[in-house]
Amino acid sequence: LILTKSISRFGRNIVDILNNLRTLSALNPPVSVEFETEGITYTGDGKNNLLIALLSALAEMESQQKSEAIKAGIRWRMAAGIYKFSVQNTLGFYRNHLGRLVIEPTEARIVEYIYESCMEGASPSEIAAALTEQGIKSPMGKDCWLPDTVRSILRNEKYCGDALMQKTYTKDFRTHKSVKNTDLNMYFKENHHTAIVKKEDWQKVQEILAVRRDGKKVATLRRLTNRFVVSRVKDGLFQGYFILDSRWSAAERKEFLQIINETLNLKNERN
């Protein structure tokens, strides 16, 4: 037996609700579902099928109305330039305990390296290969960098302090799948946050990408100055903590902590 507060908590989609109920009742032994608010127990014998179908349709309608209200609130904040976009997979930024967008210095160095390499003549493929060779994790935590990942970082206006919002949106509230925005308005806020790269450098990179494609010429790329590039946890219970590599020796851990302390001292002096 599954005890549920209400049908709207069991599911927000009439098709999913009915399919899941049928699946549960077809198990051996069958599983019943009791909905406390409605005072209904589904046992698969067909007694309450019509009533559950009607209440499920109401739950789906309620879900749709809430979805539209949430979308309207998000778009209002986008138009006002105060919307807090996700930085979970965005290299160089994280949100502190107050929800403010903050530059992550060790990741920001990777971003600067990517932009500097591009302006020095390296293609996205060459930059991706260099980052992979140096053992630097991608924004998704992968060992191997893809040229498209580098290209998306080079084209991302957030690195020069601007924000173009609603690039994607959830088209169907039932699936919650984000799609590329080709139908709705987008919202642009200049100087939205602190930049990692200068705006003129970002613009120069856009011009380079517009006229150049990956060629056969191989550029010689320099390595990052710091040996350690460490990920910072961007959400959850351990937000703000650094993730250390368990393979590091005691000397390497000491060197990393020294780099972090120097970075924090420099940040305090600027403040």
User: What would the pLDDT profile of 70-114 be if each residue is shown by its tens digit?
Assistant: 888 888 888 887 888 888 888 888 888 788 888 888 889 999 999
CA 232, CA 94: separation in Å to the nearest integer? 8
Q: Which residues pair with 33 in a beta bridge?
A: 2, 42
Same domain, 182 and 53: no
Token pair of 47 as six digits:
């007694």
The DSSP line for 240-271 is T-B---TT--HHHHHHHHHHHHHHHHHHHHH-
pTM of this prediction? 0.61
Domain end, chosen from 12, 41, 65, is at 65
Note whether 76 and 69 are within 8 A (CB).
no
State how many domains the chain has.
2
What pLDDT, on a 0 to 100 scale, did the predictor assign at position 215?
46
Token pair of 112 as six digits:
């600067």
Mean pLDDT of the chain: 82
**Residue among 176, 122, 164, 114 at smallest CA distance from 139:** 114
Same domain, 9 and 92: no
Same domain, 59 and 100: no
What does the pLDDT look like over 113-142, one tens digit per residue?
Answer: 999 999 988 999 999 999 999 888 888 888
What pLDDT, on a 0 to 100 scale, did the predictor assign at position 186?
85
What pLDDT, on a 0 to 100 scale, did the predictor assign at position 145?
94
CA 269, CA 271: separation in Å to the nearest integer? 5
Show Cβ contacts of residue 109 under 8 Å, excluding neighbours closer than 6 positions.
224, 225, 226, 229
- 34 phi and psi angles, rounded to 5 deg: -110, 125
C-alpha of 17 from chain center: 29
CATH of the domain at 16: 3.40.50.1390
The domain of 51 spans 2-65
Residue 198 has pLDDT above 90, yes or no: yes
Establish if 234 belongs to a structural domain: no
| Band (205; pLDDT cuts 50, 70, 90) | very high
CA separation (Å) from 198 to 3, 111, 139, 270? 56, 12, 21, 18
Same domain, 133 and 167: yes
What is the DSSP-derived secondary structure letter of residue 102? E
Same domain, 177 and 97: yes
Same domain, 164 and 216: yes
Q: Write the burial class of residue 94 (CB in 10 Å: 0-12 exposed, 13-18 middle, 19+ buried).
A: buried
